[in-house]
Structure 1
Amino acid sequence: MQPKLTFIKRLTSETPAFFKRAQLFGFGLAGVGTSLSTVAGIPSKLCTILISVGTTIAIVSQFAVKQLQPENS
């Protein structure tokens, strides 16, 4: 059984490849929402939703931890 990770260790441990891509997608979504907020014809609720969803995806993806394979002796 693997010991429980502290908050800091979980943040600094290696993230699996899928969740790295999910982070990039989340940051991109938040960036699009931020960029669209400067356009006059776009509703502000849409921009707020894009920014919120993007940052949530990016933050939650950071907490995924790559499982290490136990060494067989």
Structure 2
Amino acid sequence: MQNKLTLWQRVRSDTPAFFKCAQLFGIGLVGLGTSLSQVAGMSAKLTTALISIGSTITIVAQFAVKQYQPLNTKPDDDIK
């Protein structure tokens, strides 16, 4: 039994704890890359890579959805 979520429902749904930590890590990378881009001696490739990687981690982690229903929903499965 899989629920098909729309994009808006997936973005607004509750996120698991691991992916919340991943979002914070990604936001930290974006902040680091943005602040280092203002330093005169820093490479533009490095700062662009930090911003891109951090943004990707943050966006991908946002689409994780916490499941409230058990994965195995067959009623005849008994735990022995």
TM-score over 0.5 for the pair? yes
TM interval, shorter chain, is over 0.9
Flag the structure with larger Rg: 2
Task: Give the partner amino acid of 2:7.
Answer: F
Percentage of pairs with the same residue: 69
Structure 2 equivalent of residue 7 of structure 1: 7
TM-score (norm 1): 0.92
1:2 counterpart SS class: coil
Structure 1 equivalent of residue 75 of structure 2: none
* Residue pairs, 1:1-73, within 5 angstroms: 1-70=1-70
TM-score (norm 2): 0.84
Q: Which runs of 5 or more residues in structure 1 are unaligned?
A: none
Q: Name the structure where helix makes up a greater proportion of residues.
A: 1
Compute the RMSD of aligned alpha carbons: 0.8
